[in-house]
Chains A and B, each alone.
Chain A
Amino acid sequence: MAGRTLYDKLWDAHVVREENGTALLYIDRHLVHEVTSPQAFEGLRLAGRQPWRGGSVLAVPDHNVPTTDRSHGIADPVSRTQVETLDANCREFRITEFSMNDIRQGIVHVIGPEQGATLPGMTVVCGDSHTSTHGAFGALAFGIGTSEVEHVLATQTLLQKKSKSMLISVDGQVGPGVTAKDIVLAIIGEIGTAGGTGYAIEFGGEAIRALSMEGRMTVCNMAIEAGARAGMVAVDETTIEYVRGRPYAPRDDEWERAVAAWSELHSDDDAEFDRVVRIDAAGIKPQVTWGTSPEMVAPVNGRVPDPEQEMDSVRADGMRRALEYMGLSPNMPISDIAIDKVFIGSCTNSRIEDLRAAAEVVKGRKVANNVKLAMVVPGSGLVKAQAEQEGLDRIFLDAGFEWREPGCSMCLAMNADRLEPGERCASTSNRNFEGRQGQGGRTHLVSPAMAAAAAVAGHFVDVRELAS
């Protein structure tokens, strides 16, 4: 018998039943936030149903919460209603919620791993496409729609068809100054935003193995930007050390048993994938997106591409439209692009390691005069507290950054943090779609170190040169 992939193992362990190629898949962990859950709870109520296993659910408000002083609640009445609706639903259905003023509150994809609510070998779902983040733990994690949120609440299962499998192997080592974010942007640049559609991606290779859990989460987070619902990384010592001692992690004898079980969570040597992509880590440079799709990306020392050079006419049209929206001209050096705002945060890059990397660049420097706003939004209250303990907040504040309360913030601008039309932002988030950070706003996706470097230079700059 041929070996099994990590995806096969996770899948097989969760099939309750199967019929005509559609499986009923058991869900171990269900994360819930305020935006995609109200209609699901309403559905339960209308049908007179109760959650199947409320203890598997962890809820948190993150998209709408203000990142400034919260002592007076949420000013925007529509946002407030949505957060209050989550509070009320969690009370009614007896679901654990880290409410807005709980120190454990934060972005749903940051708090799951932080609490040990995300564990290796789990199936993890959330009504949010960046649920792929949790795959970094050797878990099968993917985003679902609201009808599916209701289905999981009511039945603890989902009807799923198995995806094809893809291995993306990042071979060799990355150079200094090149981070997980650059790796994943380079991957998306290579395979395209639909390259992973229909696949579950396993990220492997020496450069992935060398990443911390934070880095692996960054990579898996953006699997969805390559079109794959799930991204995952095999379990190793790094995984186990990260999980050890977290609030919901197993303890004592159970810990030993769990670690033994988790050691199986990797693809067998003779496992076969439907597609294999190999990427040379040494060739990856710090990346900056120039367009309105994450695949529109270039190395920082490169240039904005020229649609005239593009053979495929549909692609060329897309490029022209993107350049017009972004207010950029073909062939201009990426490093000539001046920015108005800087956003360091989001479920891609708001963990402690991200903040450390940014602070290291910022230390002893000042935000450039042309930058109207530079903000750091930690991923959770606990990340914020840790950063403050390490003095990172002082470094940011001294440089002229704002130091905010945790949440999604300007990643999608559902709260008050947003770009004005035409404003250009260096952002550590994951989507540069038109209007994503505010109507007419222009987003360039970069790593935390690159965002910090852009903040002090006022334009994009190769962080490797700034450091020297």
Chain B
Amino acid sequence: MQAFTVVDGLVAPLDRSNVDTDAIIPKQYLKSVKRTGFGPNAFDDWRYLDPGEPGMDASQRRVNPEFVLNQPRYQGAEILLARKNFGCGSSREHAVWALTDYGFRAVIAPSFADIFFNNSFKNGLLPIQLDEAVVDQLFRETEATEGYRLVIDLAAQTVTTPAGEAFGFEVDPFRKHCLLNGLDDIALTLQHADEIRAYEQKRRAEAPWLFRETAS
């Protein structure tokens, strides 16, 4: 996993609440058995005017000039500014893969859906929750200033505006540690393999029906 320390990135505003995972990556792209290559289809239904199917060459498609991410000023954005309940809907991690493959490193919103929030950390995408009033302010500033950037410092847990105004954010210490160091959860968990086995042994005695094999 790519580590996250400091990102100084261009901000793109997506001014809608309840952006769902079907919108972030439509279902036809979930047929892929890979983890990569979803970026050209992030927000597919909004981004293009023609209906998209897997395998199409994105450069040949009709782009929707109205969609905010298609505006020249937001090309190369690494920070997505969004509204409440971002990432609601399905558990598809493809939504996170689409955002990271597109080039986003962080999403700032007043609230996130739980599964999306979890999935983000597993892929080096930092979801930052800020107060609605602060998000409002960031929307205003982003829209008013071409080339608007924010600096996100994970170690310090701050988002800093070009004017030097810094907003603190919360992050779970364990997730922060993993993200700062780009650590793989599985290897960390397997350090506790003995404890997992001990739990299983005790539990098997108490409730053997939980351990019945599916192949029977």
| A and B bind | yes
- Which residues of A come within 8 Å of B, CB atoms? 16-17, 19-22, 24, 26, 28, 35-36, 38-39, 42, 47, 49, 52-53, 55-58, 63-64, 78-79, 81-82, 85, 94-96, 117, 119, 121-122, 127-129, 131, 143-148, 150-151, 154-157, 159, 161, 163, 193-194, 197-198, 227-229, 248-250, 254, 257-258, 261, 293, 314, 318, 321, 412-414, 431, 433-436, 439
User: Within the assembled complex, what's the spacing in Å between the Cα atoms of A293 and B84?
Assistant: 14
A227 and B35 form a contact (CB under 8 A): no
**Per-position contact with A for B83-122: 1 when CB-CB < 8 Å, else 0?**
1110011111110100000000000000111110011001
Nearest chain A CB to B109 CB, angstrom units? 11
From B22, B33, B173, B215, give the contact of A434 (CB < 8 A).
B22
B189 and A81 form a contact (CB under 8 A): no
* A155 in contact with B209 given A57-B214, A96-B215, A129-B115 (CB within 8 Å): no
A261 and B174 form a contact (CB under 8 A): no
- Which residues of B come within 8 Å of A, CB atoms? 16-18, 20, 22-23, 26-28, 30-35, 45, 51, 54-55, 83-85, 88-94, 96, 111-115, 118-119, 122-123, 172-174, 185-186, 189-190, 192-193, 195-196, 199-200, 203, 206-216
The winner among A22, A39, A49, A248 for most chain B CB atoms within 10 A is: A39
Residue of A nearest to B174 (CB): A22
A119 and B210 form a contact (CB under 8 A): yes
B31 and A78 form a contact (CB under 8 A): yes
B91 and A144 form a contact (CB under 8 A): yes
* A412 in contact with B27 given A150-B186, A258-B207 (CB within 8 Å): yes
A147 and B93 form a contact (CB under 8 A): yes
B190 and A55 form a contact (CB under 8 A): no
B209 and A414 form a contact (CB under 8 A): no
Q: How many A-B contacts are there with CB distance less than 8 Å?
A: 199
Residues of B within 8 A of A22 (CB): 172, 174
User: Within the assembled complex, what's the spacing in Å between the Cα atoms of A331 and B163?
Assistant: 47
Nearest chain B CB to A436 CB, angstrom units? 5
**Given pairs A94-B215, A144-B115, 19 additional interface contacts (CB within 8 A):** A17-B195, A19-B174, A24-B189, A24-B196, A36-B30, A36-B92, A78-B55, A81-B31, A145-B118, A145-B119, A147-B119, A147-B123, A155-B189, A159-B189, A194-B18, A228-B114, A250-B212, A254-B208, A439-B45
A129 and B196 form a contact (CB under 8 A): no
B192 and A127 form a contact (CB under 8 A): no
* A55 in contact with B214 given A19-B174, A82-B31 (CB within 8 Å): yes
A159 and B174 form a contact (CB under 8 A): yes
Residues of A within 8 A of B33 (CB): 38-39, 42, 81-82, 85
User: Within the assembled complex, what's the spacing in Å between the Cα atoms of A458 and B33?
Assistant: 40
From A64, A78, A154, A227, give the contact of B190 (CB < 8 A).
A154
Nearest chain A CB to B194 CB, angstrom units? 10
Nearest chain B CB to A36 CB, angstrom units? 7
B122 and A145 form a contact (CB under 8 A): yes
A47 and B186 form a contact (CB under 8 A): yes
From A144, A257, A433, give the contact of B89 (CB < 8 A).
A433
User: Within the assembled complex, what's the spacing in Å between the Cα atoms of A343 and B22?
Assistant: 19
Residue of B nearest to A196 (CB): B114
Nearest chain B CB to A86 CB, angstrom units? 9
User: Within the assembled complex, what's the spacing in Å between the Cα atoms of A55 and B212?
Assistant: 7
A143 and B27 form a contact (CB under 8 A): no
Q: Could you list 11 A-B pairs, sorted by A, with CB under 8 Å? A: A19-B174, A39-B34, A56-B214, A121-B207, A128-B91, A146-B94, A147-B93, A159-B185, A194-B84, A197-B114, A227-B113
Residue of B nearest to A150 (CB): B186
A156 and B85 form a contact (CB under 8 A): no
Residues of A within 8 A of B35 (CB): 39, 42, 146
Residue of A nearest to B114 (CB): A229
User: Within the assembled complex, what's the spacing in Å between the Cα atoms of A433 and B85?
Assistant: 14
User: Within the assembled complex, what's the spacing in Å between the Cα atoms of A63 and B55?
Assistant: 19
Residues of A within 8 A of B22 (CB): 412, 431, 433-436
Residues of B within 8 A of A79 (CB): 31
A431 and B89 form a contact (CB under 8 A): yes
Nearest chain A CB to B32 CB, angstrom units? 8
B26 and A435 form a contact (CB under 8 A): yes
Residues of A within 8 A of B17 (CB): 314, 318
Residue of B nearest to A431 (CB): B89
Residues of B within 8 A of A28 (CB): 210
B196 and A156 form a contact (CB under 8 A): yes
A227 and B88 form a contact (CB under 8 A): yes
A194 and B186 form a contact (CB under 8 A): no
User: Within the assembled complex, what's the spacing in Å between the Cα atoms of A39 and B31?
Assistant: 11
Residues of A within 8 A of B20 (CB): 293, 431, 433
A148 and B189 form a contact (CB under 8 A): no
B185 and A147 form a contact (CB under 8 A): yes
Residues of B within 8 A of A261 (CB): 206-207
From B18, B34, B94, B115, give the contact of A318 (CB < 8 A).
B18
* A194 in contact with B114 given A24-B189, A26-B199, A157-B189 (CB within 8 Å): no
Residues of B within 8 A of A53 (CB): 200
Residues of B within 8 A of A78 (CB): 31-32, 54-55
Residue of B nearest to A26 (CB): B199
Residues of A within 8 A of B31 (CB): 35, 64, 78-79, 81-82, 414
Nearest chain A CB to B157 CB, angstrom units? 16
B212 and A194 form a contact (CB under 8 A): no
User: Within the assembled complex, what's the spacing in Å between the Cα atoms of A385 and B214?
Assistant: 22
Residues of A within 8 A of B26 (CB): 435, 439
Nearest chain B CB to A108 CB, angstrom units? 12
* A145 in contact with B196 given A78-B54, A414-B30, A433-B23 (CB within 8 Å): no
Residues of B within 8 A of A293 (CB): 18, 20
B212 and A248 form a contact (CB under 8 A): yes
